[in-house]
Amino acid sequence: MRFPLLAIDLDGTLFNDHKEIDPVNIHAIHRYRELGGKVVICSGRSPLSTKWVAETIGLCEPIIAYNGSIILDENGEIIETSNFQQGTLISFLDSCQTRGIYAHFYEGDTLLIPEENEWNDKWIENNIPLLAHSGGTLEGCNRYRSQCQVKLIDDLFQYISENMPKISKIAVFDKAHDLREFSHQLASKHEMEISSSFNYANLEISPAGVSKGTSLLRLADLLKIPLSRVAAIGDNYNDVQMLKTAGLGIAMGNAPSEVKAQADTVTNDNNAGGIAAAINEYLF
């Protein structure tokens, strides 16, 4: 087998546009695993969300969550975590409030929000999708959803100062739907990793030096698999470092052109069996 380790993104990659996983992709993943390959979910989603997906399709490998800030072992236990410094959170929050831009914060599997709005409405349901056509059960879905929480914080400055929360990821949204300029401003002022999972209609922010790429490097080392024999598949800007780190970086057909340009090759889109096509064509 040319590539015994495969890192797979979720949204826009393994998930189709209906937030389901096509049977052709599930079948290809299990055939790859039966022949000795390991499949690692590598997502910006929360630990519970990634564990729910893994359980639903029968994976038992380690997981990379929150764009690399958290690594879970094959039993779903956290083995490594990266959090923001308190001072970074305070200065970042000041930058957002000065510009009138909304941000929410991920503390474990709890979402900290300063207000209720379109960007956090139904977060628990979106974080733990039902996956009814992918093998998910309502009982299992509700079990995972019951462990998630959305916490409304009236004064985030005070909450961060007094509680020193362990924040692993920040998400930023704005009604202008193009946050490229703001991302450049943040990068010039704050030490953090800034990317997007939705063509810069959002920003996904990790602690300095943390990305899907750095955590894939760490996980490959733990599994004693050389990077030259690691493949990765993704569709958006927060996947770029992962695609560049892997020995074979595969962009989805629905990826932006800038992301495709950073990959070694391109597969079908997420509604046309892109994962299965990539596994069958490149990995064996």
pLDDT in tens, 5-14: 999 999 999 9
Contacts of 50 (CB under 8 A, 6+ apart): 10, 41, 43, 63, 64, 65, 72
Dist CA 33 CA 5 (whole Å): 9
Averaged pLDDT for residues 221-229: 97
The model's pLDDT over 232-280, given as tens digits with 9 standing for 90+, comes to 999 999 999 999 999 999 999 999 999 999 999 999 999 999 999 999 9
Q: How many of the other CB atoms lie within 10 Å of CB of 245?
A: 20
Report the C-alpha gap between 235 and 273 in whole angstroms: 13
- Domain limits, the chain: 5-81+210-283, 86-174
Mean pLDDT of the chain: 96
Instruction: Say how far apart CA 150 and CA 164 lie, in whole Å.
Output: 18
Yes or no: say if 236 and 277 are a contact pair by the CB < 8 Å rule: no
Residue appearing with tokens 């943390």: 210
Fold that domain 86-174 belongs to in CATH: 3.30.1240
Distance CA 215, CA 265 (A): 22
* Predicted confidence (pLDDT) at residue 136 exceeds the cutoff of 90: yes
pLDDT for residue 231 is more than 70: yes
Residues 6+ apart with CB under 8 A from 84: 92, 167, 168, 170, 192, 207
Determine the pLDDT at residue 197.
85
pLDDT exceeds 70 at position 229? yes
| Nearest to 85, CA basis, from 194, 183, 160 | 160
Maximum Cα–Cα distance across the chain: 54
Q: Which of 110, 140, 142, 133 is nearest to 123 (CA)?
A: 110
Comparing CA positions, the residue from 200, 284, 270 lying closest to residue 18 is 270
| Sign of the dihedral through C-alpha 204, 210, 214, 219 | negative
Instruction: Indicate yes or no: pTM above 0.85.
Output: yes
Residue 175 reports pLDDT greater than 90: no
pLDDT recorded at residue 199: 84
The class of domain 5-81+210-283 in CATH terms is alpha beta
pLDDT surpassing 80 at residue 176:
no
Looking at residue 198, what is its pLDDT?
Answer: 86
The residue-averaged pLDDT of 203-210 equals 97
Q: Which pLDDT score is estimated for 177? A: 67
Contact 84, 91 (CB under 8 A): no
Cα 130 to Cα 249: distance, rounded to the nearest angstrom? 29
Residues ≥6 apart with Cβ < 8 Å to 210: 67, 68, 69, 82, 193
**Which whole number is the average pLDDT over 47-75?**
98
Helix (H, G, I), strand (E, B) or coil at 87: helix
